[in-house]
A and B are shown apart, each in its own frame.
Chain A
Amino acid sequence: QSALTQPASVSGSPGQSITISCTGTSSDVGGYNYVSWHQQYPGKAPKLMIFDVSKRPSGVSNRFSGSKSANTASLTISGLQAEDEADYYCSSYRTSNTLVFGGGTKLTVL
């Protein structure tokens, strides 16, 4: 099962905005509005940050936003803070009731 494609790493300075891309196919990202984004700190469980492409769970900062165009979804973090340094994973519903994750992106706050 091929994973969704994410950049291995991105970086930004405090206060800046960064965007992480997540590219799939018409069988997953492009075919359904079921893209999610998770944040994971080392040694911790993942935390849901965005679901259904652009919805934020209660308690998640509005600095986090999601969008999608064709087969590529994006996570944007505005007003970057040191605490945002973590690994970020996209996931998408895929045809036939399956789920697929991206390879993960390491965000470094400079």
Chain B
Amino acid sequence: QVQLQESGPGLVKPSEILSLTCAVSGYSISNGYYWGWVRRPPGQGLQWIGLISHSGSTFYNPSLRSRVAISIDLSKNQFSLMLSSVTAADTAIYYCARLRSGYASDFWGRGTLVTVSS
């Protein structure tokens, strides 16, 4: 069974960098699929952040593109998210997920709450 687990700081100061990692077990990410990040701000709906292919190609939400970077580490079977210049509006539960062709997310992590506050 494919499992994903997010990790990273739960509190980030405004203007700093939010950094999260998603560890994957039960599947080797080098074998294929896309790997992505989605967030849910308090009281709002899901927002797609971006994704990376197993070969390293990245695609981002246009509204976040200038601040986002997603990378992949095949040796550790994990992928990571970096979001720069964060503000309170970036406070959210961040989920990592595996995406099949057509970008349907078939496996999700449990999510991790990141709060942006001084």
Please list the residues of chain A having a beta carbon within 8 angstroms of any beta carbon in chain B. Answer: 1, 3, 32-34, 36, 38, 40, 44-48, 51-52, 57, 89, 91, 93, 96-104
B39-66 vs A, CB cutoff 8 Å, 1 = contact: the mask equals 0000001111001000000011111000
Distance (whole angstroms) from the CB of B92 to the closest CB of chain A: 13
Cβ–Cβ contact B59 & A45, under 8 A: no
Is residue B8 contacting chain A, with contact meaning CB distance below 8 A?
A: no
**Contact-size category for B:** 20 to 34
Cβ–Cβ contact A99 & B51, under 8 A: yes
Cβ–Cβ contact A97 & B62, under 8 A: no
For B110, list chain A residues within 8 Å (CB). 44-45
Assembled-state Cα–Cα distance A103/B47 (Å)? 9
Can you offer 29 A-B residue contacts whose CB atoms are under 8 A? Answer: A1-B61, A1-B63, A32-B102, A33-B102, A36-B102, A36-B103, A36-B104, A38-B46, A44-B110, A45-B109, A46-B46, A46-B95, A46-B105, A46-B108, A47-B108, A48-B104, A51-B100, A51-B102, A51-B104, A51-B106, A52-B102, A89-B46, A91-B48, A91-B104, A93-B102, A98-B48, A98-B60, A99-B61, A101-B46
Cβ–Cβ contact A36 & B105, under 8 A: yes
Assembled-state Cα–Cα distance A14/B109 (Å)? 31
Within 8 A of A (CB), among B7-55: 36, 38, 45-48, 51
